[in-house]
Structure 1
């Protein structure tokens, strides 16, 4: 055996690894930046959100394909924030975990369905949920021609407009970006309810809760209840005010709109799929006003692209580019709204200029409901009091499409940078203490051989660190506190390899072999045991990685990678260096080598034979 060759191979591997660290895998910045591993949010702070998939929007259990499609859409939405090193992964067969290192963010909206619908506003009434008469129609104010781009009162306290321009654009002023509930629930417009019950069964349960009299009175209403003409309705309809948002979601559309005790507080909390069906009318709220909405004539799938841009007044807007067929639908919808075809829009729903309004509905929430001031033949804009982040978020939701699965938010965890830094210090301290204890014990028990253990651990640590940095940039591996725990556990695995080899070496020397011959023989006999022990650890790490979720995967990956590197160091460093030490004088000293009583007494320490006096006399 030529130990120099094995050490040379190890040196080449080490040099190549750090060349990759410094010059490959997207390395950039200074030397310090290139040596920084990718750390998880539990070490640097950030936000983690866990979403649990319930059912698909048509009521079926989610498949692996549905979950992967949803993961990709959510990842695109998260990346639209412009945050580096965002991580979106699936856990098991239902969970998606979103991790954003750095500043804390509200991620509750990224799991919304983002179903975009454009619907005419047919009627409006009070949405406070109290037993009051319907609100009067908005008071119209004088304005110029459609081309003058008048501002229109979309809802109390909000302004909106949709006007043609030279470029064929119109504006739509939104209320704040919606935050839809991610709880699965049936659609009152006919979509199948997730869960064991059908929509008919759930409606039956609601009927039993409010009572037959209230249910009959509600279904008999042809318009919003007017208590001035029938005061007895107040007592009959009162039970509807006790319904939860889930129960309100299963009510027929006319009941949702006509019953005054069904308020916007309940309607706004309905799950995303509640008004999904574009072929059915729907009820939604804006500014405390309850709107009856027409069938959706233009869908989110008709939008070719959406982007956050600055308009001429330096305000952030969301620009919509329609597809060819979508542009035709949009033009036809604005024509119907501008002309109020068939008188479909009642006076309570008209804008200030007596024109129909078109509601831009995202999931259950009306983003804006501008009065249409002309037939729009080009692309349009959603305008209003947007910040750059809000406009980018809405554009990302529209651009990347609706989720095929509805989600429930399980947990959102915010980890401060201070807490993450303390976790990192604690993890590094634990790793340092573990390594120090192994080194102290090895020097105490094996003396000179302890230096072999020390050098092996240092070399393993350097190679492991380089691998963490490179894999973090190349495949996105993120080191977490659990990963540090896996590395600490690997120290025990490495110590086992030393013990097996050195104790086998002692056995060979006790059998009468010289240290030089005992080293290769002990290696041959210990090698199989070392490989078997490490192979079991690696297989355990692989199984744990495959079947586990979350941070346990990081633990398993770090443990497996550290064990593989330990095997590499055993073969290319520990055995060659032992072969070289066996040729030194220090290796033959029991006090220095650490082999103890295994070595025989040295020749110079044996007593000299007595001289023969007769020879002297002769």
Structure 2
């Protein structure tokens, strides 16, 4: 055996590990900053958000099964942030509490319904809430100024939003493998602005209210809430609004502007209970009100809806493709190194998607009027996530394959949107409560106390090891130091790569693993003494004791590792961190056992000090063997 090779391998492991610690992609700041592991909520604080579930339509609280299903989905969304040790727990019969360690984060979107709908854009009009509408234009080309619909642009600046949609609102193309139809080109492209809306056959023709935009579930029924809104705006305003069959042209009737003015004072919750035709036709209802509607205000896929994009109001058709038709969603880099969200449809979903793009490309039934058409005269399809439009590209061909939503995405926003689409809709509607920043005052004192206790315990172990094993105690000391350095470096690298965070529970797991490592020393050294008592010399006893002790050491560590894996799978929160740290430290301890402990013992066996009973720590074994042999044969040779 050549122990130098194993020690060289261990040295190479240390070099690679600490090169990653100091020079990996996530390493920032000075040398001291690069040596800091990612700490958990109980050590450095973080963010805590409480989500309160609203009542169902019949006024009852959500069931325990629905709340647990929602908790699991929210936990998946939170884990998509790349942060380990996140805690997502239920509290009472309607609250879910989310706790994330580290820097402050905006968690308000993780509790959104994230209901994805693909709806054809039927009409478009100004959503600024102005009381003067622009003159209609039959041209789909952009007007020099005063356009009712702002121009979508692939370079649109990110726009903050409190809804489920990502905080960047790309108004750009969605691409896919397409089969051209009727001379169209494959793919989906952004559309220019359009002028004011005009009535179309597919638009709602009735002045009576229709339940197209359902309200946030509250104990009152939708009709009761509408009655309350009607009383608030007054009979004259309500009658004028319900009589509209198209966006009001208040320029030709100035008195109409005064009648509709009360709708501009409605809250987003009150606007949400209005039918879609009122939301679209009343010019004093602005996008500012529509964008702040409660989650799940656009809920029924079989009803028309109204949503905004870049300050323009769109009247949207019924949903022909839904989020359940999407099989998977991922953030990827396209051929131009731009971030896009790739959508993979199910088999039935692909059929629906192809039918929708064919219908939009050919503008069947002339459902889309001039205000809703793109620059090539084709219909647009709005990708609606909850209450907001993520993208509204023009269909330039019949798309028969998976699609990509592109726009002004970066890695963070693309992954956020993909995770919302991938993990599906919540069975319960939540209202975010106040988000709090949590301090770690108590955790810091516990950490100091824990480190002090661990240091005292380790010092006592080392003192006892040197007292009982003498030279062999140095092997224990060096092995524990190397194990600690490996675990520490691994924690730093894993914190950057997979977001693992160290908590008090994880620290306890590592301390427990050191006890397991100390047990393996006892197994090896006591087996070595047994070999010497059986008549072997210390030099020949080392490899034989290693062969026999190795099986026991591997079995003991394997059992600990299996326990850690099972505990990690079945547990949550801090217990999961304990299991991960215990398993990681156990694996690294095995590395030290094979690459350091056995090689260094082989090297020690070749030294004179190891053959000395007083120095080696084998004194209790060597004299007994020598005395027994001398009694049998004074000239006996070493075995």
> Which bin holds the TM-score, normalised by the shorter protein?
0.5 to 0.7
Say if 1:37 and 1:127 are closer, same or farther in 2 by CA, change over 3 A.
Answer: closer
Alignment partner, residue 223 of structure 2 = 200
Q: 1:424 aligns with which of 425, 434, 443?
A: 443
Change (3 A) 1:254 1:190: closer
Supply the distance in 2 between the matched residues of 1:402 and 1:137 (Cα, whole angstroms). 39
The CA RMSD measured in Å over matched residues stands at 4.0
Residues of 2 paired with 1:480 and 1:239: CA distance?
Answer: 57
The residue aligned with 1:108 is 108
Q: Tell whether 2:69 aligns with 1:69.
A: yes
Show structure 1 runs of 5+ residues with no match: 1-28, 143-151, 175-186, 435-468, 485-550, 555-618
Deviation string, structure 1 residues 104-151 (Cα, Å, up to 9, x no partner): 221111111001000010011110012021475696569xxxxxxxxx
C-alpha deviation, 1:209, in angstroms: 0.4
The verdict on how the C-alpha distance between 1:319 and 1:350 changes in structure 2, with shifts beyond 3 A counting, is: same
What whole-Å deviation, never above 9, does each CA across 1:212-237 have from its counterpart, x for those lacking one? 01000000001001012211101100
**Alpha carbons of structure 1 residues 46 and 329: separation in structure 2 relative to 1, 3 Å:** same
Q: Distance in 1 between matches of 2:138 and 2:308?
A: 15
CA offsets 1:386-440 (integer angstroms, 9 cap, x no match): 111111111111111000111111121234xxx53x5434446789999xxxxxx
The answer to whether structure 1 residue 273 and structure 2 residue 292 are counterparts is no
Structure 1's 97 and 39: CA in aligned 2 closer, same or farther, altered over 3 A?
farther
Question: Per the alignment, do residues 172 and 381 of structure 1 end up closer, same or farther by CA in structure 2, a change over 3 Å counting?
Answer: farther
Q: What are the equivalent positions in structure 2 for 1:116-265 lying under 5 Å apart? A: 116-134=116-134, 140=140, 153-154=151-152, 158=156, 160-162=172-174, 165=177, 170-171=187-188, 188-189=211-212, 191=214, 194-265=217-288
Could you say if the C-alpha distance between residues 160 and 431 of structure 1 is closer, same or farther in structure 2, counting changes exceeding 3 Å? closer
User: Any residues of structure 2 matched to 1:136-535 within 5 Å, and which?
Assistant: 140=140, 153-154=151-152, 158=156, 160-162=172-174, 165=177, 170-171=187-188, 188-189=211-212, 191=214, 194-415=217-438, 419-420=439-440, 422-427=441-446
1:275/1:372 CA distance change after superposition, 3 Å: same
TM-score normalized with structure 1 length: 0.58
State the aligned residue count.
Answer: 397
Measured after TM superposition, the shift of residue 41 of structure 1 is 1.2
| Runs ≥4 residues deviating over 3 A | 36-40, 56-60, 134-142, 152-159, 162-174, 190-193, 422-434, 476-481
1:379 is displaced (CA, Å) by 0.7
Rg (Cα) greater in structure: 1
- Report SS of the residue matched to 2:314: strand
> Is residue 229–residue 270 contact of structure 2 (8 Å, CA) maintained in 1?
yes
Q: What SS class does the counterpart of residue 407 from structure 2 fall into?
A: strand
- Specify every segment of 5 or more residues in structure 2 that has no aligned partner in the other structure, as ranges: 1-16, 22-35, 143-149, 157-170, 181-185, 192-209, 454-486, 488-493, 495-499, 509-572, 576-639
What CA deviation, in whole Å up to 9, does each residue of 1:134-184 have, x standing for no partner?
475696569xxxxxxxxx95479755234554699845779xxxxxxxxxx
TM-score (norm 2): 0.56
What CA deviation, in whole Å up to 9, does each residue of 1:258-297 have, x standing for no partner? 0000000000011122111011000000000001000010
